[in-house]
A and B are shown apart, each in its own frame.
Chain A
Amino acid sequence: MSVLGEVSGIARIEDAPLESLLDALRAYRQRQARFITASCLDRGDRFEILYLFDEDLRTVAVRTLLPKGAKLPSATGVYLCAFLVENELQDLFGIEVEGLHIDYSGKFLVTDTFDAPPLLKQTACELQLPKENPS
């Protein structure tokens, strides 16, 4: 499956291979770009992850492609505030983040009652109702 082309509202998307991802993020840090968040898309055999930054009200992004099963290097050494979204990636997509400063081990937003990472495309969602109505 192809990656996102132009994204309306994002002025520039810079592609960074996984091995040089942290270098790309450091370059943004040196330019004093404000880290906004990261956004992940399940692309079948891989994840497409966009790291979004603010530069004087313009949105710019670094994109990396992560094969499923591979580990994502943590951005928390560059932007500490990324620990929230990286814990969310672990919870909701099942991505293992390596070197995460504050690691909730996949239990940041979700609990043990979740069978599978909910934002994976193969994770079906069903309405769960109590088996018996106590009333």
Chain B
Amino acid sequence: MSEGTSVPFGPQHPVLPEPIQLRISLEDENVVQALPALGYVHRGIEKAGELNDFQQNVFLVERVCGICSSIHALAYCLAVEAVLGLEAPKRASYLRVVWMELHRIHSHLLYLGLLAEAFGFESLFMEFWRVRERVMDLLEMTAGNRVIISVCTIGGVRRDIDAEQARAIREELPKLRDEARRLVDSLLSDYTVRQRTVGKGTIPAALALELGAVGPTLRGSGVAQDMRMAGYAAYGELEFRPVTFPDGDTYSRTAVRAEEVFQSIDLVLAALDNLPEGDLKVGFKGRPEGAALARVEAPRGELIYMVVGNGTKNLERMRVRVPTYANIPALLTVLPGCEFADVPVVTLSIDPCISCTER
């Protein structure tokens, strides 16, 4: 038997868009242990959240993550609104759903492209990202920006979607759905992709729950849990059932995200069809005093904000728990037993976001 070898995977690696290091211990080609080394992009955002005015924090938390920026703002606003006893107007709740689901679509398409690239499937990577660009165009059209869209505010939303913009979204999304379906079918039925993903990095449902996994990582193990089931914003008034796949492997996690693209398109169209007239936000006076916790479903899973107000303009505490943070233990548990060549794809399969994780 050969002596064990230790290999650093990252912090710079072709499949990692952001820096994290996994210290991989190998015996021959088999992984026997994986330990993370973090701290490359820790920015002290929770501390900054105590030093800023609580209203400024809406813009701060959008910068936790570039991909799900708006969903961070929504979770923070929901928590502060709960402390202040505010309820966003119905129109604002529906508009929030539209923007959050557009974010989910572009996040999942980004993942699918990155996965294709990880296999060396460059043309499919570019095709996924070409389609994703059209979602970014919709965000730019409705919010004035592509990534940090700053639409959520405490008490509602800062922008409206007018009839002309709604018509443009209704025209674009069905076309986008057809193109995405063609690409997803190519990806999921491809022989090489199946060889590299089926049965790789399998997380059984019981283990996923025990290790606190969330989002597509949990649903890819067959557990039907999605915070949108709790009905925040306008999700309670829209038809919604979580997407699950039973096998718990890299293929299942990918398939969950792929199907969620189509589900999100349906949710955007349903929200626009049912968009009520009314105000965009409610005004408020006073400063937060008390504590609240908000849980929402970001593209990578459950995102949590807890705020504690002390009656001043500064919060006593702003706590952020992001989905990748919850999925790392499951990843570390399934890597041992994998072949080293599978580490990049299995790691990518939790769609890690390190900027979120380190805050």
The residues of A with any CB-CB pair to B shorter than 8 Å are 4-10, 32, 34-37, 39, 41, 52, 54, 57, 59, 79-81, 83-84, 92, 102, 107-111, 118-119, 125
| Chain B 307-343: CB-based contact to A (< 8 A → 1; otherwise 0) | 0100000001101010001101110000000000000
List B73-132 residues whose CB lies under 8 Å from chain A: 79, 82-83
Interchain CB contact under 8 A, B326 and A81:
yes
Complex Cα distance, B317 from A1, in Å, reads 15
Are B294 and A9 closer than 8 Å at their CB atoms?
A: yes
Complex Cα–Cα for A39 and B320 (A): 9
Complex contact B308–A41 (CB within 8 A): yes
Closest to A32 in B: B209
| Nearest-neighbor residue (CB-CB) of A102 within chain B | B35
Partner of A5, one of B39, B211, B290, B302: B290
CB atoms of A9 and B329 under 8 A apart: no
Q: Is the CB of A37 within 8 A of B35?
A: no
Q: Which residues of B contact A8 (CB under 8 A)?
A: 82-83, 290-293
Query: What is the CA–CA distance of A92 and B328 in the complex, to the nearest angstrom?
Result: 19
CB-based contact B326/A110 at 8 Å: no
For residue B184, CB closer than 8 A to chain A, the reply is no
Q: Which of A7, A57, A108, A118 contacts B230 (CB 8 A)?
A: A57
Residues of B within 8 A of A52 (CB): 293, 304
The segment from B10-18, B42-50, B167-175, B272-280 that touches chain A is B42-50
B329 contacts A84, C-beta separation under 8 Å? yes
Q: From A107, which residue of chain B is reached at the shortest CB distance?
A: B39
* Chain B 192-223 residues near chain A, CB threshold 8 A: 209-212
Give the residue name and chain of the B residue nearest to A92 (CB): B46
- Residue B38 lies at the interface, judged by CB distance under 8 Å to chain A: yes
| B20 shortest CB reach to chain A, Å | 12
List 13 extra interface pairs beyond A8-B292, A37-B326, CB under 8 A: A5-B290, A5-B291, A6-B291, A7-B293, A7-B306, A34-B209, A36-B326, A39-B321, A59-B295, A81-B211, A81-B212, A83-B329, A108-B38
Partner of A79, one of B83, B212, B294, B306: B212
Partner of B295, one of A7, A9, A84: A9
Residues of B within 8 A of A39 (CB): 306, 317, 319, 321
Closest chain B residue, CB of each to CB of A7: B291
Q: Are A80 and B329 in contact (CB under 8 A)?
A: yes
CB nearest neighbor in B for A43: B316
**Using Cβ atoms and an 8 Å threshold, which residues of chain B touch A34?**
209, 212
Alpha-carbon distance between A111 and B326 when the two chains are bound, in angstroms? 23
CB of B329 within 8 A of CB of A81, answer yes
Q: How far is the CB of B218 from chain A (nearest CB, A)?
A: 9
- The answer to the question of B225 belonging to the interface, with a C-beta cut-off of 8 Å to chain A, is yes
Cβ contact within 8 Å between A37 and B304: yes
Q: B229 and A57: CB pair below 8 A?
A: yes
Most B CB atoms within 10 A — which of A9, A109, A119?
A9
By the criterion CB–CB under 8 Å, are A35 and B308 in contact? no
Which residue of chain B has its CB nearest to the CB of A124? B51
| Least Cβ–Cβ distance between B305 and chain A, in angstroms | 9
Known: A39-B319, A119-B46. A109 touches B358 (CB 8 A): yes
Tell me if A118 and B44 are in contact (CB < 8 A).
Answer: yes
The smallest C-beta distance from A59 to any residue of chain B, in angstroms, reads 6
List 9 A-B pairs, minimum CB-CB distance, nearest first. A9-B293, A8-B292, A81-B329, A8-B82, A37-B321, A81-B212, A7-B291, A39-B319, A109-B42
B330 proximity list for chain A (CB < 8 A):
81
B325 close to A37 (CB less than 8 A):
yes
| Contact, CB under 8 Å: B229 / A110 | no
